[in-house]
Amino acid sequence: MTRKPWHIHRTDKALTLSRLSPARFDIVADGALPTGDPLRYAHQIRQDMWRLLQGVRGFAPVVELRAHDGGWQVRAGGAVNGVVPPNAAATVAELLQNQSKRARWIAQANRSNQFSNQGKEDNQ
């Protein structure tokens, strides 16, 4: 079975990862993260959000990161083709505040920086 690709929309100061294009937020929560690779952040958040909301019929995740104050402003949620559960936005908000998940996201988002910096140090 072939899966539909993820839509990745980049600008100078933002990245949006979504299953559908254009991205739509029927469910939305906001948060903030420190600097790091925005695509790695987006995929990590999307995976964890999917694990929590995969039972919502017609759910299509969306994660948007915008550069803000030396880090990222995050909007996470997505489109729902059906009934939006009343607690869905709160579930996403709790996810964005979960300290153990945030620590993993930050570690993953900084992994790419470590590898690119390591190559620079080795060449000096």
Taking the CA atoms of residue 27, residue 28, residue 29 and residue 33 in that order, the dihedral angle to the nearest 10 degrees is 130
pLDDT tens for the chain, 124 residues: list them. Answer: 556 689 999 999 999 999 999 999 999 999 999 999 999 999 999 999 999 999 999 999 999 999 999 999 999 999 999 999 999 999 999 999 999 999 999 999 998 655 444 444 444 4
Domain membership of residue 55 as a residue range? 7-107
- Residue 2 in any domain: the answer is no
- Residue 67 in any domain: the answer is yes
CB atoms inside a 10 Å sphere around CB 99: 7
- Residue 31 in any domain: the answer is yes
- Residue 103 in any domain: the answer is yes
Number of domains in the chain: 1
Interatomic CA distance for residues 30 and 64, integer angstroms: 10
- Residue 118 in any domain: the answer is no
Buried b (16+ CB within 10 A) or exposed e, 21-35: eebbbbbbbebebee
| Stated pTM of the model | 0.86
